[in-house]
Chains A and B, each alone.
Chain A
Amino acid sequence: MEVKEQLRNVTAPADHLIGGRMPAKPLNKAAIVTRLTLYTLAVLTIYAFFSFDYKELDFMDALLGTFANLKTIFLEPHLKHFSFGHALYQVMVTLGLAFLTTLFGAIIAILFGLLAAENLSSKKTSMVIKSLVAFIRAVPTVLWVLIFAVAAGLGSTAAVIGMTFHSIGYLIKAYSESFEEMDRGVIEALQASGANWWQIVFQAVIPSSITYMISWTFLRFEINFAVAVAMGAAAGAGGIGYDMFMASSFYLDMREIGAITYFILAVAIILEIFAAKIKRKLKTA
């Protein structure tokens, strides 16, 4: 009896709606924000095109020129100012920079990642570290490198320290989020048997999150390779990036740029394939 009464209450307004106008797409908050975001981006983009400083550049000419240049760069690559062996060695240097920064970043980020995870630390500590991470990540890597270069001199040492800073910020965020996904009950079970914090971290937290951690760390290694190329070009870190900068700004040799680009592309694609392999293996293991 009561149930029927309730049913009628539910269906009554629905009848009313169908009788009136019923929009196919209800406008809720999410839909409004979605549209607003898209409109805002569109308006800003159009405004940007009008406000660009074209410096009396003939846009069509430049665009056609670019296609001609891209053809030269990618179809007629050569090495003139250094040998194939030298290029290979410089690629190794860049990989070395990426490796060191990823390793240092990972070691430091594990410790702070544990402190930043709300379930393993206090709310206050976690918030302090997370704010610090947001700050570190907001400063572009190249600026970290240049700031450290004042103290350590321009070169690989400043580059490693500066790049490590950014890696730490990135990995703390990634690690702490994987730690926070950890099942609360497992931690409780070990607490209930009298285990202490370090034991729980090493026996439960890290074994449970290790696959995510490895994936994230390798992803950062991929990013750091690209960053190391850029730092070679922009902040005197050496490696293949520096050669590219020289080819572009000093020798003005497009064809050499093409050759170097192929080198970078090859390494990056190998790393990507490797990352995909690791991911697949971890998923099944």
Chain B
Amino acid sequence: MKALLEVNHLTKQFGKDSKALTDVSFSVQEGEFVSIIGPSGAGKSTLLRCINRMIDATGGDIRFQDSQVMNLKKKELKQVRTKIGMIFQHYNLVNRLSVIENTLHGKLGTKSTLAGVLGLYSKEEKQQAVQILNVLGLNEMIYKRADQLSGGQKQRVGIARALIQNPRMLLCDEPIASLDPNSAKVIMDHLKKVSTTMGITVVVNLHQVDVAIKYSDRIIGINKGQVVYNGSAKGLTSEDIQRIYGSEADDLIFDIGGIHAG
């Protein structure tokens, strides 16, 4: 089977001598749920942003479906971006607009400039937005302003905005880092459901090893810009965790057996 996303020998350098990524290679299959873990500053966000070219990598290549992402022209890049949804730690909603308007922003990439500027959406698009919001349990909030929502609700709007793009893949940069454990669970459950029922590939940056093990099919561990673990969630041992987080991380290592069992 051909992989949906393939990253080969990717490097990213900021300025003269700070290397954020060194020779990163991995591939992601259609429908897979992949978590990327690693200490702060390891390069997780950088890696994710290189995939949809929010930042440009320095070397290597990235293939998504049949496109060489690094070589795309402006217009083709937008085309590819409409196929990749992105979810952020701080939700990044337009606070003064309503939930449904924020959701419909996911459609802008497929619209003409004028229609986007004037905010003209078709009836079908609005219906689709309402339907997605229903699935995410936001039916009561559709016309509320985004700044009136709780963090967990905001993040669900963020997911809705990504889903209305009809994406093949979701990139999530620490989607639960600002949430309490309950809301975090709700969000992770939704992401898992999206992956299993809609067959959408999910790549998610996480800080919680236990969450990563519980939800993902596969885990990629990054340390100092290099891939140090790439394998199934089940196969992650405490030695691996030590390799990913460094030797000072002894306290971090909890009862792995317990998590695997749970």
Residues of A participating in the B interface, judged by any CB pair closer than 8 Å: 183, 185-186, 188-196, 198-204, 207-208, 210-211
Contact = CB atoms under 8 A, between A and B. Distances in A.
Interface residues of B, number: 34
Contacts, number: 88
A193 B82 contact: yes
Interface of B: 52, 54, 78-79, 81-82, 84-86, 88, 90, 92-97, 101, 105-106, 108-111, 113, 116-119, 158, 161-162, 165, 171
A189 to B, nearest CB: 4
B108 A203 contact: yes
Contact of B105 (A183, A195, A211): A195
Given A202-B117, A203-B116, A196 B78 contact: yes
Contact of A194 (B81, B95, B96, B117): B81
A189 B113 contact: no
A192 B81 contact: yes
Contacts of A211: 96
Contact of B84 (A190, A192, A198): A192
Given A199-B117, A202-B116, A203-B119, A193 B109 contact: yes
A38 B113 CA distance: 54
A191 B84 CA distance: 11
Contact of A186 (B92, B111, B118, B165): B92
A203 B106 CA distance: 11
A49 to B, nearest CB: 52
Nearest to A192: B86
8 contacts: A183-B92, A185-B92, A189-B88, A195-B108, A196-B116, A203-B101, A203-B119, A210-B96
Given A193-B162, A193-B165, 19 more contacts: A190-B105, A192-B81, A193-B82, A194-B82, A194-B108, A194-B110, A195-B108, A195-B109, A195-B116, A196-B113, A196-B116, A199-B116, A199-B117, A202-B116, A203-B116, A204-B105, A208-B95, A208-B96, A211-B96
The 9 closest A-B pairs by CB, nearest first: A194-B109, A199-B116, A195-B108, A185-B92, A189-B92, A192-B86, A194-B81, A194-B78, A194-B82
A189 B91 CA distance: 9
A199 B108 contact: yes
Contacts of A186: 92-94
Given A185-B92, A191-B54, A203-B94, A198 B81 contact: no
Nearest to B167: A193
B82 A198 contact: no
B79 A189 contact: no
A210 B94 CA distance: 12
Given A183-B92, A193-B81, A207-B94, A198 B165 contact: no
B54 A188 contact: yes
B51 to A, nearest CB: 10
